[in-house]
Structure 1
Amino acid sequence: MFKASIPADNFGPRKGRKRRVDKNAPPWPADRPDFLRFVVYKENIDTSTAAKDIVRMAHLNPKRGISYAGMKDKRGVTSQFCSAYRATKEQLLAVNRSLAGPKHGGNTSTRGASVIKVGNFSYSSDEVRLGQLKGNRFDVVLRNVDIGLADDIVGDAKTKLVHERLEAAGKALKSRGFVNYFGMQRFGKFRDTHEVGICILKGDHEGAVDVIMREKGNDSNEYQNTAVARKKWAKRFADVDLSDEEAAKDAEMAVAKDVLRSLGRFMVCEKSIVSSLSRNPRDYKRAFGAVSKQMRSMFLHAYQSYIWNKVASMRVETGGYSAQVGDVVLTEDKSASGLRGKSVKILTADDVQNYSITDVVLPLVGGKVVFPEGLSGDLFVELMKEDGINREMFAKVGAVDKELSLGGDYRKLICKPSDVTFEIKQYTDPVQPLLETDLMKSIGEKVAPVVREKASESPEAILYGMVVGFSLPPSSYATIAMRELTKRPTSSEYQSMLELTGKPERNVM
């Protein structure tokens, strides 16, 4: 079961539609707990969008929405626990009837189709929310695996070498683990959410809005309407004397109203900002405040993650895979996130031999964390200085906006997956399911059996795949684990260039 560690958000019905309210509905039974807990299964849609669709299709209270323990992105076939306040099973079952699309799920040939299913209902007195998870279970399918063998190695010889290489890689992931980097999804589609965080720490709300709304470049793969809207926004003051504040306000209001119509359904952050500026032009602090608390916090977390990743790279490069004098380790850890229940110490020459690299943590910068001593601690200060940031700014931003308070946290430098399993498969259909999804299991659909080479088949027709299963603690990224396993990028840009047959990287530039 997939779970994650990003807080929930609430979503209402689509604009222009009134939520259907049953005024004759009976009062909520006094002996029934307030929260309906259920599992959401989804494909080809991210958690926040799925939550919005569920609220709409099940006619739930838009002010409460549904809550969940973590965010799962669009590329994952995922199942996770959610909860809804005073909702009934009958309401939620409307989701299974409403959404068209493939019934079985798991088949990669159904490109573009989204799947949302709900089930496993029970009532609970507790809401599903951030911090309630122990970790995440992943089962990852790697298709058309190529280990770089010469073309003349085929048949049993090829199969033997592929199995040996993949088994060695799987065992290395299990025994050594990986540097616990934050995944690129932490920094948004355009890899710039940390830049917004820098602006907010400086109190520069206009700069934050500019980063969010600016043109993203020709390689951004945005829809043409969106790219045109961003260009209009960038030129909103082209013929305006900015010393004339009223003229500037009028220009921005007009462009905001025009641009708002061109922003896509999923551009929640941009739409919130532009909508605010269409009513209150040039008030960038108010506009940024119109963004949800979770999203505003995400920008600051992105900057914390950006600094953490850089220091982690340097720490491993200079200190290797053993604990060093000056490293920070946890001596008490009773909390999944935040500083409450955590205590740390800095290693000295007298006790460093009692700890291993898996004990070492690096701080997520905040006003209350302890920095390591030596090179790692110095690098934290130097990197922030380059961005015009200091530790006092983290405390200051929390004083100005309590919802953005950042005391900091600690994160393990090395993550070792648990319950690691791997299975190597041979197959011929490049899009056939190689792993049973939860939906397939629920309806009894089986994965096609492993193929064996036959005399009548060309050796080139046999494809090799690997199914890797593992569990990670909260906030560790499967994409980073896969990068360590495959020694290849896991970005959607790179993955989209790979081929499902033949040489997989033949189109990679």
Structure 2
Amino acid sequence: MRVPRLEKKLGIEVYATRSLGIGGVIRFFPEDFMVEEILVNGSKAEIFPTEIQVRDASSPIKRHLLCVLVKRNWETLQAVRAIARQLGVSVRHVGIAGLKDATAITAQHITIEGITMEDTRKVHINDIKIHPLGYFHAKLSPYYLLGNSFKITIRRISRSRTDLQERISSVLREIQALGGVPNFFGHQRFGTMRPITHLVGKALVKGKFQKAVMLFLAKPSPTEHPESRKAREELWKTQDFKKALEMFPKSLHYERLILRHLAKNPSDFVGAFRRLPLKLQRLFPQAYQAYIFNKILSRRIMKGLPINKAEVGDYVIEIEPSGLPNALRYKVVSRDTISEVNKAIENGKMLLAIPLAGFKQKFSQGIQGEIEKNVLEEEKVSLEKFKIKGFPELSLKGELRAALARIKEFFIHEVTSDEANPRKNKVVTSFMLYRGSYATILLRELMKPRNPIKAGF
């Protein structure tokens, strides 16, 4: 099965299923991609709440106000920035459990430090709503995230309904036999319209800070807005930061933050990059780490090694009662333990794990370890490089990540005609994924898109 060129650039080099896809388009409307966040305590952020219910939101210390943020077509960090500005608080006082899709309608929990429930009434932003719930005992972080529930509509499908049903059933049988889908980092981790996040991260890891900044500012993409593309192309040619500040559209907020610094300090690329919010800075080396993981996982699958069973030398991690994998509780599989480990995997108590590159992380052993070393050799980077000199705050220690993304509560709601596209069909599906797993990775197996950008990825 041929993998699109864009996906190969993101390290996703293979499909796990051989069945034909259904095609189609996601995100035709924002309402076609709905995400509701679930915390480990069971609290679910609902897009259309019938009544506001929450657990553990009655802390006697009234410091961290827990709210549900519902947004439409907003990037999470930009939404947080807009909310903080209206409330007159620092973005550092806003806690989130995870980033949500931008081209979508999403509901997630946030905590805001130092405000009252009444203060939330000051927030009047288009396509953003905040519902205060009560006071949480701490600032929200990914530690509290269980996963996300998705409801996705796939439109503009050319297949007949009978053919659709057959193809869906065939893909699902393969996924069920595998126990899930490869736990690739999804397209949005890298930027689908302008996939440069991991390239910037690679430059940072290699200590090429000027290159990192220039890639972020000036590497154009054929799929972005023409005004933005023209401004980037001009900067790439001229390196004139003052002129670029005049040309770059106001919508490119983060680029303009950097350009303002470089217009005054044209050789201070480290200082310029630090103008970005720290959360955003960290996304770049993490994206490069994700790209390497994707390549390693792809190569394992291409080599014919299983991702739902362990081989000698592999890492495995335990699954907590909540269903979350616990990367801190791991084993390296030996000849003596392989039978016991694979029984635990079969019983849903353990998962195969692959390292995320970092300066403290050791390679797997055996064949898997060789795959990891080969990928890093291809990249001309060592694990030690993830201790980034000049940017210690962006350094990555490394950790283990499950090789398989398990899918919960998968359901096909409709296979009907598409009211928005005459003579086409649509499929409405819902499912739940644990934190760190991407809906688009499941959807790519189901759809097999020839062009992920045109397909809405």
What TM-score range do you get, normalising by the shorter chain? Answer: 0.7 to 0.9
8 Å CA contact retained: 1:4, 1:70: no
Q: Distance in 2 between matches of 1:43 and 1:478?
A: 18
**Residue 487 (structure 1) aligns with:** 448
CA distance in 2, matches of 1:223, 1:52: 26
How far is 1:79 from its partner?
0.6
Amino acid of the residue matched to residue 236 of structure 2?
Answer: A
Tell me how far 1:342 sits from its aligned partner. 0.9
Contact 1:328-1:371 within 8 A present in 2 as well: no
Q: Does 1:298 align with 2:283?
A: yes
Aligned-partner Cα distance in 1 for 2:120–2:175: 40
| Structure 1 position 279 matched with structure 2 position 264 | yes
For 1:319, the equivalent position in structure 2 comes to 304
Aligned-pair CA distance for 1:161: 4.8
* Corresponding letter in the other structure for 1:414: L
Partner of 1:211: 215
Number of corresponding residues: 394
Match in the other structure for 2:6? none
Instruction: Specify the structure having the higher radius of gyration (Cα).
Output: 1
Cross-structure match for 2:295: 310
Indicate how the Cα distance of structure 1 residues 69 and 309 shifts in structure 2: closer, same or farther if over 3 A, else same. same
Query: 2:300 corresponds to which letter in structure 1?
Result: R
Task: List aligned pairs for 1:97-496, cutoff 5 A.
Answer: 98-99=124-125, 115-147=127-159, 149=160, 159-176=161-178, 177-188=180-191, 189-217=193-221, 219-224=222-227, 226-236=228-238, 255-321=240-306, 322-330=309-317, 342-354=328-340, 355=342, 356=345, 359-395=351-387, 397=388, 400-427=390-417, 429-430=419-420, 464-488=425-449, 491-495=452-456
Q: Secondary structure at the match of 1:407?
A: coil
Q: Once the 2 structures are TM-superposed, how far is the Cα of residue 332 of structure 1 from its aligned partner?
A: 8.1
Secondary structure of the residue that 2:358 maps to in structure 1?
Answer: coil
Which string of whole-angstrom CA distances, capped at 9 and with x for unpartnered residues, describes residues 423-467 of structure 1?
Answer: 224246227xxxxxxxxxxxxxxxxxxxxxxxxxxxxx6753322
- Correspondence for 2:43: none
Q: Which amino acid letter does the alignment assign opposite residue 74 of structure 2? A: I
3-state SS of the aligned residue for 2:456? helix
TM-score of the superposed pair, with normalisation by structure 2:
0.77
The structure in which a higher percent of residues are strand is 2
Instruction: Give 1:146 shift.
Output: 3.5
1:384 CA displacement: 2.2
Residue 126 of structure 1: CA displacement? 1.9
| Equivalent residues of 2:151, 2:429 under 8 A apart | yes
Alpha-carbon distance between aligned partners in 1 of 2:278 and 2:295, rounded to the nearest angstrom? 26
Deviation at 1:78, TM superposition (A): 0.8
Per-residue CA distance 1:169-220 (angstroms, 9 max, x = gap)? 4454445311111112111242222222222122221121121122415x23
Distance in structure 1 (CA, Å) of the matches to 2:248 and 2:454: 22
SS at match of 1:122: strand
- The verdict on how the C-alpha distance between 1:380 and 1:333 changes in structure 2, with shifts beyond 3 A counting, is farther
Q: How far is the alpha carbon of 1:307 from its aligned partner? A: 0.9
Cα distance in 1 for partners of 2:219, 2:414 equals 44
> Structure 1 pair 325/338, CA: closer, same or farther in 2 (3 Å)?
closer
Length-normalised TM-score, structure 1: 0.70
The 1:117/1:490 distance shift into structure 2, 3 A limit, reads farther
2:118 is the alignment partner of 1:90: yes
- Structure 1: unaligned runs, 5 residues or longer: 6-29, 101-114, 150-158, 238-254, 432-460, 497-509
- One-letter amino acid of the structure 2 residue matched with residue 404 of structure 1: L
The residue aligned with 1:2 is 36
2:289–2:356 Cα contact (<8 Å) kept:
yes
Query: Which residue in the other structure is 1:9 paired with?
Result: none
Gaps of 5+ in 2: 1-34, 40-58
2:231 and 2:244 in contact (8 A); partners too: yes
User: Are the aligned partners of 2:155 and 2:425 in contact in 1 as well (CA < 8 Å)?
Assistant: yes
CA distance in 2, matches of 1:304, 1:169: 29
Whether the aligned pair in 2 keeps the contact of 1:330 and 1:342 (CA below 8 Å) is yes
Distance change in 2, residues 1:333/1:89 (3 Å): closer
Aligned pairs (5 A) from 1:59-98 = 59-62=87-90, 64=92, 66-95=94-123, 98=124
* Alpha carbons 2:319, 2:351 under 8 Å: kept: no
Deviation at 1:480, TM superposition (A): 0.3
d(CA) in 1 for partners of 2:183 and 2:233? 38
**CA RMSD for the aligned pairs?**
3.1
The 3 A distance-change label for structure 1 pair 336 and 279 is: farther
Runs of 4+ in structure 1 off by over 4 angstroms are: 331-339
1:333 deviates by: 7.0
Mapped partners of 2:170, 2:237: distance in 1: 55
Measured against aligned partners, the alpha-carbon deviations of 1:37-69 in whole angstroms (never above 9, x if no partner) come to 11111112222222223234x433135453211
Deviation sequence 1:194-253 (CA, Å, 0-9, x none): 222222122221121121122415x232332x233223322336xxxxxxxxxxxxxxxx
Q: 1:164 to 1:134 in 2, by over 3 A?
A: same
For the 8 Å contact 1:334–1:342, the answer to whether it is kept is no
Change (3 A) 1:145 1:52: same
Distance 2:409 2:385 in 1: 41
SS of aligned partner of 2:291 = helix
Q: 1:323 to 1:31 in 2, by over 3 A?
A: closer
